[in-house]
Structure 1
Amino acid sequence: MSDTMHVSDTVQPRTPHQTRRKRSLATTTAHRGPCVPREFVHRPHVGDVLVTSWQRHDNTRFSLTAQWPHDHSYFTPVHGRHHLILPGESIRQAGLLLCHSELGVPVGHHFVLGDLVYTTHPEHLAVGRGPTLLTIDVNISRMRLRSGKLSSGHFAMTFRKEGRIVATGHSEVTVASPAVYRRIRGERISARRRLGPIPPAVPHRLTGSAQEDDVLLSPTDRPDRWQLRVAPGHAAVVNPANDHIPGMLLLDAAQQAARTLTAPETFVPYAFGTEFHRYAEHHTPCIITAQRIPSALPDTTTVQVIGTQNGEPVFVSALTALDTRI
C-alpha cells in the first residue's frame, strides 16, 4: 500500500472485492459494529484500527465514528494529550475505509494521499481513563470516477468529541491499480525492510516517545540533523508488506525531530502539514533536518522538518505549537 503524501508548501494553520452487495451511490446507509475490517484501513493489527463505523448521507457526505486509545503501546499521550499523529492516522483510515466500502475501490489497489493537513484544538485533546469517542464528518469534493471506481478526490474532515470540534483537516487521494503501481515502482516493488542492527537512538524523552524502540531518530554530528531509524519488528508504524517506508512513519519522525530540536522547551504542536515529494526507500539512509521558521500567527513557534535520501527531498513538514517562551 502506498502511504505517500504530497502537501503544497509550508502550511500556515488556523487559531479487492466488495464484501457487500453494490448499492446506488445515492443510497443512505449506516454500518455499525465492533470492528471495521482491518484490510479496509490497511492495518495488519486489529488493535491499530481507529475507525469503528460509517454512514452515507449522499454521494459526497459521510459520517464515521472512531476512538482514540488512551493506553496504546505506541500512540502514547504527550503532556496529558492525545498523540499528535492520531488525527493524521484517522484521516488516512477514514479515507481508505470510504474508498473501499462506498466508492468502489477494490482491496489491493494503492493510494497516494495528498495535502495531508490538520489543525487540532488542544483544549479538547485531553486523555481520559478510557478511549476517546469521536465522530468524523467527511465531505468529498473534486471527485473523479473511472469505471464506477474512485480515481481521485479531496477529503475534508471535521472531528468532534461530545459535539465539540477536536480537529479539522483534509487530504487528497489518488488511486492506482496494481498494474499502474507496478509500472510506477518497477523493480523496487519487491523491496522489503530487512531486520538487522540499527543506529543508536536519541533519548526517548526528547522525542516524546514512551520507550527507545519507538524513537525514529539517530543522532549525527549536528544537533539539527538525524538519521531515520526503525526498531526491528516494530509493527505499530510499519506494515511488513510495504515496499517503501510508510508516510505515517515519516510524519512521526518529523514531530519527533521538532520536539528534539526545541528541547528543553515544551513543544506540543497543534497543527501539522506535510509535503511528500517521492517514496522513501527501505535500503537508503534517510536524513532528517529541522529548523525554526517564521510563524504566521503571533505567540506560536513553527518548525520545518525535511527528509532527504541521496540528497533529494522526500518530504517537508511544518509543525506549529503555542509559544511557551513568552
Structure 2
Amino acid sequence: MSDTLQVSGTIRPTTRRQTQPVWNRPATARPGHGEEVSVPGTFVHRPRAQDVLITSWQRLDDSHFSVTALWPHDHPYFVRSHGRHHVMLTGETIRQAGLLLSHAELGVPLGHHFVLGDLVYTTDPEHHATSGAPTRLTIDVTCSRTRMRAGALASSRFDMTLRAGGRIVATGHSSVSVTSPAVYRRIRGERLAARRPAGPLGTPVEPELTGSAADRDVLLSPTGRPGQWLLRISPGHATVVNPENDHVPGLSLLDAAQQAARALIAPVRFVPYAFGTEFRRYAEHGTPCLIAARRVPPAIPGTTTVEVTGSQHGKPVFVSALTALDTHHSPL
C-alpha cells in the first residue's frame, strides 16, 4: 500500500537539521501532573491531552533519537492491574514515538496518513508500577529500512528500548509507511467518508474477564461461540477511536486482541508480557469484525501463548500473538 522509492538505510535530514542534539521543548501542559508537559497532540494523533504519553525528544544523529515519556498512574482507560501497568501502554508509547519523530524530525506534514505494518514488543514481567505516581521513561529509538520521498519519510522501522529508572522495561518495534492525502483518497475511495454507524451497541463481555475498568471500555461482544466475539466500540470513546477516523484504528484492534486473550484463558489470570501483531488490511466501520482467539503451542516453557485474529467478510484484518507467564491457576 506504500508507493515508495529506496533511498538509503539511514535517514537524511531535510529541513532545519543540526549535528548537535537539540531539545524540542513541548508546548502543551499535561493536566493534573504539575510540571509535567507533553508534546502537541497533533504530533501523536491524539486529540485529548490526557492521552498524550510523549513529553520531549532529542535527535542524536540521522537515525538515532532519544524520547521521554510519562505513563500515568490514574488514566481512566489504561488501568493498572495486579501492580503492573496496562499492557497497551507499551504499544501506544511506541506508536506515539514513531509518529512524533515522523512529523517533527523526518519531514512528514500533518495531515498525511500512516499505515501500520506491524507492532511488536516485549515487556519485563517483573517490572511493577510505582503506586500513586506516574512512571517516567527514556526511550532509545533507532530508525532503519528507511525510505524517503521528496524530503519526507515514506516508510521506516522504528526499534525502541524503553527504560524506567535506568532499567530496561520493554523493547519493541513498529514498521510504518506514509501516504499523502491525495494517495490516501485514491486508496480509500468512497470509504473515506465512512464513520462509525449509529445504532445499538452489542452487549459487552463482563469487564473483569477482559481486564477493563467499565462496560464502555470492553471491546468484545459475545457471539455464543467459544473463543469468538464481535468487535464493539462505545460511541464517543475518544481514547479508543477518533470520531473523524474513516476506519477502526490499530490501537483498538490491539486492545481487542489482548481482551480476547484474557477472556479465553479466564478464569485463570493472563497478563501478557510479549505482544506481536501484523496488520493485513483496514478494519472498516459498519462491517462486523470477528475476533477469534485460540491457544497455540508456546515457544518458551512455563508460558502460555494465545493467537488472536480479526476478520471481516472472512478476510484477515490482523493477527496477534500474546504470551504470558504461567500463573499456576491464579484467579483473575
TM-score by length of 2: 0.90
Task: State the Cα deviation string for residues 109-158 of structure 1 (Å, max 9, x = none).
Answer: 00112221000002123242111100011000111111111111110000
The answer on whether the counterparts of 1:65 and 1:135 sit within 8 Å (CA) in structure 2 is yes
The RMSD of aligned alpha carbons is: 1.5
Q: Cα deviations across residues 141-177 of structure 1 (Å, max 9, x unaligned)?
A: 1111111111111100000000000100001111100
Count matched residues: 307
How far, CA to CA, are the matches of 2:197 and 2:117 in structure 1?
28
Paired position in structure 2 for 1:250? 253
Q: What is the Cα deviation at residue 193 of structure 1?
A: 1.1
Matched with 2:292 is 289
Task: Quote the Cα distance in structure 2 between the aligned partners of 1:172 and 1:290.
Answer: 24
1:187 and 2:164 aligned: no
Any residues of structure 2 matched to 1:78-117 within 5 Å, and which? 78-117=81-120
Give the secondary-structure state (helix, strand or coil) at the position aligned to 1:155. strand
77-86 or 162-171: bigger deviation: 77-86
Task: Provide the secondary structure at the position in 2 that maps to 1:126.
Answer: coil
Runs of 4+ in 1 over 6 A off after TM superposition: none
Aligned letter for 1:287?
L
**1:222 correspondence with 2:225:** yes
- Contact 2:116–2:250 under 8 Å retained in 1: no
Q: Is the 8 A contact 1:195 1:233 kept in 2?
A: no
How does the TM-score come out when normalised to structure 1? 0.92
Q: Secondary structure at the match of 2:17?
A: coil
Q: What is the match of residue 324 of structure 1?
A: 327
Partners of 1:113 and 1:267 lie apart in 2 by 26
Give 1:25 shift. Answer: 5.8
SS at match of 2:247: coil
Residue number in structure 2 paired with 1:200: 203
| Aligned: 1:239 with 2:242 | yes
Alignment match, 2:160 = 157
Partners of 1:138 and 1:31 lie apart in 2 by: 16
Higher deviation after alignment, 256-265 or 107-116:
107-116
Contact kept? 1:77, 1:127, Cα under 8 Å = no
Aligned to 2:270: 267
Amino acid at match of 1:120: T
Counterpart-to-counterpart distance in 2, 1:273 and 1:67: 23
The answer to whether the 8 Å contact 2:58/2:66 transfers is: yes
Correspondence for 1:31 among 24, 29, 40: 24
Report the 3-state secondary structure (helix = DSSP H, G, I; strand = E; otherwise coil) of the residue aligned with 1:123.
coil
Equivalent position of 2:314 in the other structure: 311
User: Does the CA-based 8 Å contact 1:286-1:309 persist in structure 2?
Assistant: yes
Give 3-state SS (helix, strand or coil) of 2:80's partner: coil
Give the deviation of 1:22 after TM superposition. Answer: 3.6
Among 302, 305, 320, which residue is 2:305 paired with?
Answer: 302
Q: 5 Å matches for 1:101-180?
A: 101-180=104-183
How far 1:27 moved relative to its partner? 4.5
8 Å CA contact 2:117–2:280 kept in 1: the answer is no
3-state DSSP of counterpart to 1:47 = helix
RCO comparison, higher one (Cα < 8 Å, 6+): 1
What is the deviation of 1:305?
0.4
Equivalent residues of 2:65, 2:142 under 8 A apart: yes
Q: Structure 1 regions of 5+ residues with no counterpart?
A: 3-20
Contact 1:51 1:66 in 2 (8 A): yes
CA contact (8 A) 2:38 2:53 kept: no
